[in-house]
Amino acid sequence: MKTRALFGAALAALVAQPVLALEHEVVIDHNAGPIAADYRGSVTIETTQTGTAGSAGRPSTLACRWTASLSVERVATLGETLQSRRTITSENVANGQKPGWCQTQAKAIDKLVESRRESFRDTLLAMVEQDRAALLAEADSKAAAPRG
């Protein structure tokens, strides 16, 4: 019985599923021209099975711990001179625990993550703001580079 619980825990820890998709567009004024940046975020949930099923007369300690992370891919263009891609990740944006097997809690966890959509949107906007300096520095470096 313990072997089955350990196998389930190992399998659940490896499972990561995308749940929520977010998008945002920004145009930044730059002396070389406007920079158009598209951000696409996706939320990934990782689960870990903990505890064991209780034998007759003993309580079960089974629980599914989950963590949701946000990964954002940025694609930016500045005319014909700059085309840039970058991926930014924010780990552990949300987390929690549900009693029972992870397989049976997947839909409930998805609903919990969906109910926190605004929190993920706020995190996405904060990541976009943090990326602004890197994007401007990249544009400045491309604009200053000799052409030819």
Q: What is the pLDDT of residue 143?
A: 66
- How many C-beta neighbours within 10 Å does residue 90 have? 18
Domain count for the chain? 1
> Which amino acid is located at 54 in the chain?
G
For the segment 114-143, the average pLDDT, to the nearest whole number, is: 90
The pLDDT of residue 26 is above 70: yes
Q: What is the pLDDT of residue 1?
A: 47
Band (13; pLDDT cuts 50, 70, 90): very low
Supply the range of the domain harboring residue 96.
Answer: 2-144
Band (146; pLDDT cuts 50, 70, 90): low
Could you give the C-alpha distances from 43 to 6, 20, 117, 123, in angstroms and in order?
A: 27, 5, 10, 11
Residues 6+ apart with CB under 8 A from 40: 21, 22, 23, 72, 73, 75
Band (90; pLDDT cuts 50, 70, 90): very high
> Which amino acid is located at 108 in the chain?
A
pLDDT, tens digit, 9 for 90 and up, residues 31-75: 888 889 999 999 999 999 999 887 777 778 899 999 999 999 999
Whether the CA torsion 78, 25, 18, 116 is positive or negative: it is: positive
- Average predicted confidence (pLDDT) for the chain: 83
Which of 52-61, 95-104, 134-143 holds the top average pLDDT? 95-104
Whether the CA torsion 99, 100, 106, 108 is positive or negative: it is: negative
